[in-house]
Amino acid sequence: EGPDIVRQADLGDNWQMAQMRVSVPAGDENSVLLKVKLGDEVDGYYYLEKGDDIRFELIGDSVLYQSPTTSDRFTFIVPETVVTTYTLTFSNPTEREEIVFLEVIFPIDADLFFPIGSN
């Protein structure tokens, strides 16, 4: 199940913002993918709306950032590498669903999308 998009908006001519609620099933994970270009800058934050434990990882060709806290802020600039798709993954170690609010600000020509799973 993909995130629930709360709000999307262009911020001037160069930036866009997406706010969403990400449902993370018990003992599972949910991801948001961001396709960007070399040199692009990305900024965002998240906080736990429902639940009491969530883990966050920002992954390019390796783990760039990990946070075991229930809220955090992140910023990164896409380095001069071949990686242009980054994965923002929330992992739920609990036995109940957790709900995360996520805001991401990224270049207007970048793409935000969600993986499709099958059962």
pTM of the predicted protein model: 0.90
Instruction: Please tell me the distance from the alpha carbon of residue 117 to that of residue 101, in angstroms, as a whole number.
Output: 21
φ and ψ of 58, to 5 deg: -110, 120
First to last CA, the chain: 11
pLDDT confidence tier of residue 31, bands split at 50, 70 and 90: very high
> Is the model's pLDDT at 1 over the cut of 70?
no
φ and ψ of 75, to 5 deg: -145, 140
Average confidence (pLDDT) over 74-100 = 89
* Sequence-distant (≥ 6) Cβ neighbours of residue 59 within 8 angstroms: 86, 87, 88, 89
